[in-house]
Amino acid sequence: MKAMLINAFGENAKFETSEIDTPIADSGQVLVKIAASSVNTVDTMIRKMGNDLPLSPDTPALLGMDFAGTVEAVGEGVEGFSIGDEVYGCAGGLADLPGTLTEYIAADAKLVAHKPGNLSMAEAAALPLVAITAYEGLVRAGVKQDQTVLVHGGSGGVGHIAIQLAKYFGANVYSTGGGEKQTKLIQQLGATPINYKTESVADYVAAHTQGEGFDVVFDSVGGENLTKSFEAAALNGHVATTVSMCELDLSPAHFKGLSLHVVFMLIPMLHNVKRETHGEILAEIAKIAESGKLKPVLDDKQFSLVQAGDAHARLESGQAMGKVVINH
């Protein structure tokens, strides 16, 4: 089968069109013919950093984590899937798990769920990593009906899903964005936009929470932005972050009694622990999507498999709105 491989990691790493063996569905796996995949920031990090990241595969590396497609074979011991089923998941592209920038994947069935029936293959492929991340962060933060939720980076891949899920859980949602396009998307998703370039944290906390702070802050920007999350959170509030590889003074979190939830959704894949939780979350995400309460935003530029490098470049450019998708 055709595959796009990285033979050497680095800033100038290139994808090369190659022929590799088509996998077979081993015990506990489903063989899926991939219709679409999507690009995530972690994919670009692996391509550039390679062995500096403990989760990178060996070269030649087959990257790509998210996919949607059709089941072509079912391995021994697998229940709940049949040949012809349309499925989606996040199941490869790191460590010893071959990725999705190819025609077929033999995926651990625990990491897979039936595709939302009302979404296209491209839309379904955009969801797994970002939807699991957003869902896990909000649930761990204990989001509830009528709470105030602030999403940092609401026009991004994880952020635009977090807005929709927080609304689904009944929260009053606010979101930071830095431009006219971002503000428009945040409004379309049903959140109140906050321009972080022109409004200070103190200003928007006063304007939207009467100075009390937000019950839950979901920070998909992270790093130094976490200090803004601590400032924006209410006393005894919750902060969920997807990016915490940094050194920070936790004193503000201490004096507010904040709970900090670090979301690293790749743990089940990396460590082969509780993988079934991902399949269960994806099944729940499919129900939410089918209820009309969740729809991924796709960037208006789409790519073919042989354009994998261009798809990575598009995400890294910062110009993409929504998820960057590759049609296979």
Render 301-318 in DSSP notation, one character per residue: --EEGGGHHHHHHHHHHT
pLDDT attached to residue 324: 97
**197/277 same-domain check:** no
CATH number of the structural domain spanning residue 190: 3.40.50.720
Domain end call among 262, 279, 299: 262
CATH number of the structural domain spanning residue 83: 3.90.180.10
CA distance 120 to 97: 25
**74/139 same-domain check:** no
pLDDT attached to residue 16: 97
pLDDT attached to residue 214: 98
Q: Which residues of the chain have pLDDT under 70?
A: none
**Residue 110, SS3 per DSSP:** helix
* Average pLDDT of the residues of the chain: 96
pLDDT attached to residue 321: 86
What residue numbers bound the domain in which 147 lies?
130-262
Domain end call among 214, 229, 262: 262
**108/179 same-domain check:** no
Pairing of β 172-177 and β 148-152:
parallel
**Residue 109 contacts residue 85 (beta carbons within 8 Å):** no
**171/225 same-domain check:** yes
pLDDT attached to residue 57: 96
pLDDT attached to residue 205: 98
**134/258 same-domain check:** yes
The tally of domains found in the chain comes to 2
pLDDT attached to residue 51: 86
> Could you give the C-alpha distances from 278 to 136, 167, 265, 269, 274, in angstroms and in order?
10, 21, 9, 9, 8
pLDDT attached to residue 1: 98
**186/206 same-domain check:** yes
